[in-house]
Amino acid sequence: MKSRFTVPALALALAAPIAAQGSLPALFLPDPGVRPNGTDTVSFTVSGLAGHNYAVLWDVDSGPFDLFGETFFLGFTPALVQVVAGTFSVTGEDTFNIGVPADPSLDGTLRHLQAFEIDPAAPNGVFRASNPASFAVHDTTDAIVDSFTNAALAGFTGNFDTGVSEVLQGGAIRVRTHRTVDLSQGLVFPQPLQTPLNPNGSRCQIVYRPQDVGATGEEEVVTAVRWRPLGGQVFQDSFPQFEMALSHSAVMPDFSLDLFSSLPMFPNSGLDPVFSQNVIPGETPTSVFSGSYSISPSNVTPDGYVPYPTPTSQFCYNGVDSLLLDLKMAPSSAVGLNGQTVRLMVLSSALPAARNVANGTPQTPLDPNTATTGTGDNSMYDYQIEFTRVKTSATSPWRAGAPGADYRTPLVASIEPAGTSVEIEYRGADDGLGANPTAWSTSVDIADGRSFLQYRITLVGDIASGAVPSVDSLVIPF
């Protein structure tokens, strides 16, 4: 007889003390796709230490959350059910087959499972929790089914965490810091540049090519930008209104020189004087900070940089295009003694432009929001940019459907801690080699009529907590 559990009832059920020493239980469910036809069964194996008591529960939601020092992959909804309970045999492994009733209302539903082993030697003194498992119920002829027992061995490609089995888990949150200048190129300009810290107002666009920021093709969030003061000297100052906007750009300045003339070979490869022309077509710059900015000598980092304000919104750099910074400083009563370090990339000419600048003067202050054009030169700012990778992905092999298949809504058993998310795209093809593929789409219907289907899972982690999501199973009925 199945019994319903609440969280307090579960705690009581797991509290029975036993003497034997335990180990982490494991749950294995080989086929996460079943049909509500009265003949299909859900088969799973639970393993642990011989002689230990255990229970397996399932729920319609996945959690996760921490309780009693363990991670629960169950939602603790009113539908929470204990499906089996017992004592591990001498082999430490028990297998169960549970019939699925002929109930059409189960079509399109998911169940999330987890095992719990009683163990007084556990860190919480009571029990240990297993890995998650899941299955989907679908009332169709067939389905594409993946359980991610070992995604890498199964042919999945991408930068997901290949060291984790039983689930497809996102790669760890990764932070890297990159200096934007190559010390073997260009020469340091001997005077500190006031722009963009101009108390008379300024607008300054700076472009960094992928190689300038150490891009690897992975998508990353820009989480910090820092500037280098010339000579290390920093003065206390405060600006009431400063804005930083980030975007992608197709502009890639080429500083190559002609061997005979020493002039730039591609003087027009840099930024356009019109600010709006430097943003990649179709993109709107992301304002990552807007507000007051205070500078203090105490804020200088051990390696000699001064931070701009911490971004308050996220910009995801694609790792392929150039990165465009747009810095706007409103006129104010700030002192304006701080100067930044730049390297002149070409000495024989001001072009190609690595920056595009409009500055105000004491006589004519500049409202940066009305400035539409600037003057370019090849000054390359010595900045330090911090990138945080939060997105990783996994692309499946081509999965066989059927000729003329009508793919139905995928059933995805995901585990998404707070602040994380899972995004899935699909495409179809005519054969297992991907012939005549469709475009990628978030709708599986893009693959209707095609004999083969492929999907790409994007796993988005949470910067604040470092948590990453995972997918336990994916079933695509057709």
DSSP string of 233-278?
----EEEEEEEEEEEEE-------B-TTT-SBS-GGGS--SBGGGG
Pairwise pLDDT comparison (310 vs 6), residue with the higher score: 310
- What's the pLDDT at 240? 98
CB 388 within 8 A of CB 220: yes
Amino acid at 470: S
**The last residue of a domain, from among 139, 162, 183:** 139
149 shares its domain with 87: no
Residue 228 phi, psi dihedral angles, 5° rounding: -105, 120
Question: Please, what is the Cα angle at 164 between 159 and 27, to 5 degrees?
Answer: 145
Kindly state whether residues 165 and 293 are assigned to the same domain.
no
Are 15 and 64 contained in the same domain?
yes
Q: Report pLDDT for 46.
A: 96
- 212, 321 in Cβ contact below 8 A? no
Contact call for residues 146 and 474 (beta carbons, < 8 A):
yes
Mark whether 415 and 378 lie in a shared domain.
no
* Residues 365 and 419 reside in one and the same domain: no
Same domain, 3 and 132: yes
In b/e form, how buried is each residue of 271-287, taking b as 16+ CB within 10 angstroms?
Answer: bbeebeebbeeeeebbb
Supply angle C-alpha 422, 425, 429, rounded to 5. Answer: 150
Confidence of residue 3 (pLDDT cuts 50, 70, 90): very low
Same domain, 193 and 233: yes
CA distance 439 to 190: 52
Structure token pair of residue 328: 């706007």
Q: List pLDDT tens digits, range 263-280.
A: 999 999 999 999 999 999
Tokens of 112: 């999330």
Q: Give residue 20's pLDDT band: very low, low, confident or very high (50, 70, 90).
A: very low
More confident residue, 10 or 319: 319
CA 356 to chain centre: 32
**DSSP assignment of 436-458:** S----BSSGGGGTT-SEEEEEEE
Report CA-CA distances (Å) from 189 to 39, 327, 340, 378, 449.
Answer: 79, 20, 10, 11, 63
The predicted-structure confidence for 358-415, as pLDDT tens digits, reads as follows 999 999 999 999 999 999 999 999 999 999 999 999 999 999 999 999 999 999 999 9
DSSP 3-state assignment of 361? coil
**Predicted local distance difference test score (pLDDT) of residue 22:** 37
Q: Are residues 339 and 418 in the same domain?
A: no
d(CA 371, CA 358): 7
Query: 140-186 pLDDT, tens per residue?
Result: 989 999 999 999 999 999 999 999 988 999 999 999 999 999 999 99
Look up residue 129 and give its two tokens. Answer: 């929790």
Q: Which of 58, 56, 52 is nearest to 84 (CA)?
A: 56
Task: Read off the pLDDT band of 67 (50, 70, 90).
Answer: confident
- Of 389, 404, 422, which closes a domain? 389
Domain ranges, residue 41: 1-139
Contact 423, 460 (CB under 8 A): yes
CA distance 171 to 460: 9
Q: Pick from 389, 414, 431: which residue ends a domain? A: 389
- Which amino acid is it at 17? P
Q: How many domains does the chain divide into?
A: 3
Comparison of pLDDT for 137 and 22, the residue scoring more = 137
Buried-state track 239-267, b at ≥16 Cβ within 10 A, e below 16 = bebbbbbbbbbebbbebebeeeeeebeeb
- CATH of residue 131's domain is 2.20.130.20
> Same structural domain for residues 313 and 447?
no
Q: Taking 80 as the threshold, does the pLDDT of residue 437 lie above it?
A: yes
Residues 441 and 477 in one domain: yes
One domain for residues 294 and 226: yes
474/33 Cα distance (integer angstroms): 9
Q: Is the pLDDT of residue 29 over 50?
A: yes
Instruction: Find the length of the chain.
Output: 478
Residue 295 and residue 255 in one domain: yes
Q: What is the pLDDT of residue 56?
A: 97
Dihedral sign of CA atoms 202, 387, 307, 465 in order = positive
Name the residue with tokens 């602040």.
419
Residue type at position 310: T
* Six-digit token string for 23: 């180990």
pLDDT level of residue 14 (50, 70, 90 thresholds): very low
Residues 289-316 pLDDT 10s = 999 999 999 999 999 999 999 999 999 9
Residue 396: exposed, middle, or buried by beta-carbon count in 10 A (0-12, 13-18, 19+)? buried
Q: Which residues contact 251 (CB under 8 A, 6 or more apart)?
A: 207, 269, 270, 271, 272, 278, 322, 324
